Amino acid sequence: MLPKDLSAIAGPLNDQQLGQLKQASQELSSQQMAWVSGYFWGLSQNQITESHPTLSLSAAIEPAGKLTIIYASQTGNAKGVAEALKEEAVASGVAVELFDASDYKGKNLAKESHVIIVASTNGEGEAPDNALTLHQFLQSKKAPKLNNLKYAVIGLGDSSYEFFCQTAKDFDQYLSKLGAQSIVERLDCDVDYDVPAAEWRQQALLKIKETLSTGAAEVIQLPVGQQSTHSHYSKQNPYTATLLTNQKITGKDSSKDVRHIEIDLEGSGLSYQPGDALGVWFENSAELAEQLLTTIGLDGSKVVDVEGESLSIKEALISKYEITAANPQLVSKFAELSASKKLQKLVEDKDKLREYAGNTQVVDLFAEKKTKLSAEQLQGMLRRLTPRLYSIASSQAEVEEEVHLTVGLVEYQKDEQSRFGGASSFLSHRLEEGGEVKVFVEHNNNFKLPTDDSTPIIMIGPGTGIAPFRSFVQERENREASGKNWLLFGDRTFTEDFLYQTEWQKYLKEGVVTQMDVAFSRDQQQKVYVQDRLLENAEQVWQWLQEGAYIYVCGDATRMAKDVNEALIIVVEQQGQKSREQAEEFVNNLRKEKRYQRDTY
């Protein structure tokens, strides 16, 4: 706590700084002084020293409470929104604390005055792994009454999924049921969330400031510490990198086209850990943009405005808008504009609408009924282009200033025409070696190696889900980790689809990988998958779990991850001699303890 007589302090502050600090603290209560003390301590942990230039900081002095921000985040998007909200709160003079949901004790909500929850949704409407405990606590009998709490909730999701922003809806419902008062209507953001989220944050902060008894924030001259060495590049400010390598790693007769991609990060300062993802900003195919314009009868040279930038509508389709994957909102809007009876009937059935949108590209939607659209109508329907996230397939301890990806080309036939995924076709076919690509690192704290290198790990990654485990094994080898490494990989055929086969054989021979089990579904009459290999090795899986093993799953969320989860429950039920309910609780506790981590899509 700061002493009342600041002049008695013998320290690095000059007379002017002492005077400003004294003036700012004269009317503070003991509670407020304690908060300011913690605030200054936090600044000191960022290596703030007297030897660096000074900067005016708004020292948020709040006589009546603070804002607490809690984020429930799986891949990092919700965390990013929460961090932006914190920065804006500090800038506007609001006392604020930011918490990862896994670090926040639910019972402390009873002590809060103002809380904002930023929540993404995982899988089939589940809470992100870092929010499981808090999510369950608020549903339990232990949850306290929250009659004195004012709150707001913002959700991030994808409307193409059935349980759109379900976790945010849950938190909103739970807090309201416990007596808390919502001060801003919940916002459920779609994948193109940057602008609506920013507008909501402004609205929420205005309400927070209205309901907090605010005093004038004092501006105090504080020494500025040396910035940390991490890169300043981000989703909003990506790094322009160079493509070094594009190598096809499936056989010539494979039904899949999977590429090993190497990107040069030299000089960027970008750093990553195994389990992180690389965000890739891509350009759409010019041919696809032209085809789309022809379909709706629009001149590609028509000049449009995109957030203050003037460019042709064709250029906008290539670099600013999503023109590959359709989505339910787009289908609904076009059904109304085109008056297509087929589409209007589809819109009435949400399940069929989602299925249709998930399997249809924008150009094929517009081809359903010939409809001439203006540039403004087209812009009003399309989502803004968003980057794709790819699990990083390398360890910087191994590849230094490079980053590797494992990219599967999204490809299918529609009326004898080939349709491709936007980002996957950009990386695999349209970007030449030596070409430029804008990237950023998306840190994923919910998919990380154990801190104890002696801990055994079980990695389950069929198809391109193998990517992060290549980084895991590279990292463990470079750290000379003593923990056992067990890899389960699956794909269609051994001869055509065994991704990184020679690398895994080398790691097995050298003992870096302790055990590897493979499942090639089409190499025999009866299909075999990674979950079958888990069940075949049930006794050993259980033994590894008893030794404290961590389990990691990466890949398809729709079927594979569910089937693997079911197999784990069966293993625990049988080998641990537990009831079904006990086995489910055991597996759920593994997730809470971060011993069962999933990176699914």
Are 95 and 34 within 8 A, CB to CB?
A: no
Note whether residue 32 is domain-resident: yes
303 and 274: one domain?
A: no
470 shares a domain with 486 = yes
User: In the prediction, which pLDDT does 373 show?
Assistant: 96
229 part of a folded domain? no
Give the pLDDT band (50/70/90) at residue 251. very high
Give domain status of residue 233, yes or no.
no
Do residues 463 and 594 share a domain?
A: yes
CA dist 191 and 376 (Å) reads 21
Q: Among the three residues 177, 196, 223, which one is the final residue of a domain in this structure?
A: 223
Give the domain CATH number at 320: 1.20.990.10
Residue 148 CB neighbours (<10 A) = 13
Strand, coil or helix: 510: helix
Distances from the Cα of 168 to the Cα of 128, 501, 572, angstroms = 11, 42, 31
- pLDDT of 215 strictly over 90: no
Residues of the chain with pLDDT > 70: what percent?
A: 86
Are 76 and 161 contained in the same domain? yes
In this structure, are 27 and 117 located in the same domain?
no
Q: Are residues 469 and 548 in the same domain?
A: yes
Say if CB 463 and CB 448 are below 8 A apart. no
75-88 as b/e: b if 16+ CB within 10 A: bbbbbbbbebbbeb
What CATH number does residue 494 fall under? 3.40.50.80
> Of 333, 353, 381, which residue constitutes the final position of a domain?
381
Predicted confidence (pLDDT) at residue 230 exceeds the cutoff of 70: no
354 and 496: one domain? no
Nearest to 533, CA basis, from 479, 490, 477, 585: 490
pLDDT recorded at residue 40: 53
Residue 535 in domain: yes
Least confident of 38-47, 95-104, 390-399, 556-565: 38-47
Last residue of a domain, one of 166, 193, 212: 212
Whether 44 maps to a domain, the answer reads yes
The DSSP code sequence of 541-560 is HHHHHHTT-EEEEEE-TTTH
Instruction: Tell me the average pLDDT across 167-176.
Output: 97
Domain containing residue 513? 457-600
In a domain, 451, yes or no: no
Q: Are 217 and 58 in contact (CB under 8 A)?
A: yes
Task: Determine how many CB atoms are found less than 10 A away from the CB of residue 398.
Answer: 16
How confident is the prediction for the chain on average, in pLDDT? 88
Higher pLDDT, 158 or 293: 293
pLDDT at 338 over 80: yes
Q: Which two tokens stand for residue 508?
A: 């097995």
Do 412 and 348 share a structural domain? no
Residue 452 in domain: no
Predicted TM-score (pTM) of this structure: 0.82
Report pLDDT for 426: 98
Structural domains counted in the chain: 5
Range in 224-228, 371-375, 454-458, 465-469 with the lowest mean pLDDT: 224-228
Same-domain check for residues 317 and 372: yes
Is residue 214's pLDDT more than 60?
no
Answer with the residue of higher pLDDT: 492 or 27. 492
pLDDT at 160: 84
Task: Give a yes or no: residue 186 inside a domain.
Answer: yes
The reply to whether 469 and 544 lie within a common domain is: yes
Q: Is the pLDDT at 587 greater than 60, yes or no?
A: yes
Residues 367, 488 share a domain: no
Q: Residue 20: what pLDDT?
A: 58
Residues 382-404: tens digit of each pLDDT: 999 999 999 999 999 999 999 99
- Which CATH number goes with the domain that contains 121? 3.40.50.360
* Same structural domain, 476 and 335: no
Q: Which residues contact 155 (CB under 8 A, 6 or more apart)?
A: 119, 120, 121, 165, 167, 168, 169, 186, 187, 188, 189
Higher pLDDT, 411 or 63: 411
